[in-house]
């Protein structure tokens, strides 16, 4: 990865900061830097980070810092953001298994401070409430890093999700299932239900970082940041948090934003 950062920063009318990195690697390093600084400055707090193709580079950078002794991930409470109902870390097509392979195992950060979405619980609704309660018991998230789905979802809060939604079981759209099937070299079907941390839970965080890359996300990123605030694009709810939002993109994902 390069360490030559050429990012350009702009303030949107919503109050959010958009940082357009020179390329994917710089986006990843910037995002990892925010996470690392946060952990160093706010030990003991709860954070959530996303899965997907977008954050691979961020996790690679964090893994390097942890293995190099610059960052101790054991000092924070990390909550996984979302996963498929009925799939856990031992299912190769779960998001938790993805995270384990991409980050937890390479970085060696297993432990009681790593919280998995309780997708295998006998009573998933009660387990979702308990997951929410354990986040609340820690004072809510002090940092939430999010990706943006091609249909505007954040976590697995699909179009139609309410702004004050909490951790719960949700139905997945066919679009999201197709998108997620591409993560795995497997012909296993992606379930039609998932459990996700809610939008209300995420928006309460004093620092929210949205990372987005690639030209295929340019239109939905514009809709999320500069279109109407609507349940049809859950990412557009991020406009309501003002300057608590920092968006980090590569040039391709930012190409349809109107920036001064
Ligand atoms: C996935 C996950 C989200 C993720 C988003 C973007 O379905 N549920 O948490 O942020 O979609 O994924 P990607 O980065 O692969 O485009």
> Could you list the mean pLDDT of each consecutive 10-residue stretch along the chain, which spans 260 residues?
74 97 98 98 96 97 97 96 95 93 96 97 98 98 98 97 98 87 72 96 98 98 98 98 98 96
Q: Please give the pLDDT value at position 1.
A: 53
Q: Please give the pLDDT value at position 181.
A: 79
Which ligand 1 atom minimizes the distance to the CA of 179? 7
* Tokens (6 digits) for 20: 């357009």
Which residues does ligand 1 sit against, CB inside 6 Å? 50-54, 81-82, 147, 149, 155-156, 176, 179-180
CA distance 113 to 73: 9
CA distance 164 to 204: 10
Q: Please give the pLDDT value at position 4.
A: 62
Is 232 a residue of the active site? no
Indicate the SS3 state at residue 24.
helix
Q: What is the residue whose two structure tokens read 């209300």?
A: 200
DSSP 104: I
Cβ within 8 Å of residue 21, ≥6 positions away: 5, 6, 7, 27, 30, 248, 249, 250, 251
Q: Please give the pLDDT value at position 260.
A: 80
């Amino acid at each position: 990865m390069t360490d030559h950062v050429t990012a350009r920063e702009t303030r949107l009318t919503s109050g959010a900061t958009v940082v357009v990195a020179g390329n994917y690697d710089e986006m990843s390093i910037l995002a990892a830097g925010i996470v690392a600084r946060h952990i160093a400055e706010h030990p003991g707090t709860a954070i959530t980070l996303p899965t997907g193709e977008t954050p691979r580079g961020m996790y690679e950078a964090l893994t390097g810092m942890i293995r190099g002794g610059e960052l101790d991930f054991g000092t924070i409470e990390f909550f996984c953001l979302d996963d498929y109902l009925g799939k856990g870390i031992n299912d190769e097509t779960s998001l938790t298994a993805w995270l384990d392979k991409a980050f937890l195992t390479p970085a060696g950060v297993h432990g009681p401070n790593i919280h998995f979405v309780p997708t295998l619980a006998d009573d998933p609704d009660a387990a979702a409430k308990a997951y929410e309660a354990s986040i609340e018991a820690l004072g809510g998230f002090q940092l939430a890093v999010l990706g943006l789905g091609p249909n505007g979802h954040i976590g697995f809060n699909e179009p139609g999700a309410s702004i004050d939604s909490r951790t719960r079981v949700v139905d997945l759209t066919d679009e999201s299932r197709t998108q997620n099937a591409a993560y795995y070299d497997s012909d296993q079907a992606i379930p039609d239900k998932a459990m996700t941390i809610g939008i209300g839970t995420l928006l309460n965080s004093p620092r929210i970082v949205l990372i987005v890359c690639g030209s295929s996300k340019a239109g939905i990123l514009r809709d999320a940041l500069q279109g109407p605030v609507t349940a049809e694009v859950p990412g557009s709810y991020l406009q309501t948090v003002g300057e608590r939002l920092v968006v980090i993109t590569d040039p391709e994902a930012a190409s349809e934003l109107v920036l001064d």
